[in-house]
Amino acid sequence: MRISGIERYDIRQVMGNARGDFRSVYVLHADETDCTACGYDPMSDSGDDPTCSECEGTGKTISWLAREIPSRIKVFDFVQLQGAGAIPPGVELGDVALYVRKNDRETFEALEGKQRSYVKIAGDGNVYQPFSITADGVGQDDEIRVLLRKVNVEQRATGY
């Protein structure tokens, strides 16, 4: 089945008006630099002085870049994993799928593989990191799917 231009337009209108399905997602990117007061030891992944007041012993000075992105959210719960819905490969219980605009792809790609950078969903106490970014689904011309996995991060930005 091929989707015509008018059908694609209708889908965009419905998605744009479905504000109840959208929630704010905060992408927090950690811009790290070596601590100028005590230095950084790559062998231990910490600072040379564990009592350093500037970096709190981590050896890294972090400045946070925060960005708010509206997103459609789907949480993969037990029912969906048991066959009640289509599941992307590699998804586990508690993973989250975000559907965001194509323009936001680079923002999420910058987080992949970053130890201290993470994603925070409004109204959710957990933090996540992306493990798959693909163009998928009905709105694939306009949006991408970002799969997130729950993680524990040692340092979090204040307020997130």
Give, for 133, the enclosing helix (H) or strand (E). Answer: strand 127-134
Tens digit of pLDDT per residue, the chain (160 long)? 566 666 666 666 555 544 435 788 999 998 888 888 888 888 888 888 888 888 888 888 888 899 999 888 887 765 555 555 566 777 788 888 888 888 889 999 988 878 888 999 988 888 999 998 888 656 566 788 899 999 888 778 777 7
- C-alpha 64/C-alpha 30 separation (Å) is 5
Q: Specify the CATH class of 5-24+70-151 in words.
A: mainly beta
Sorted by sequence, the CB contacts under 8 Å of residue 61 that are 6+ apart come out as 32, 33, 34, 35, 36, 54, 55
**Domain map (residue ranges) of the chain:** 5-24+70-151
Q: Give me the pLDDT at residue 130, please.
A: 92
Q: Give me the pLDDT at residue 19, please.
A: 41
Q: Give me the pLDDT at residue 120, please.
A: 93
By CB neighbour count within 10 A (0-12 exposed, 13-18 middle, 19+ buried), where does 104 fall? Answer: buried
Q: Give me the pLDDT at residue 20, please.
A: 39
- Residues 61 and 34 sit within 8 Å (Cβ to Cβ): yes
- C-alpha 114/C-alpha 121 separation (Å) is 18
Amino acid at site 21:
D
- C-alpha 133/C-alpha 54 separation (Å) is 36
Q: Give me the pLDDT at residue 21, please.
A: 56
pTM value is 0.71
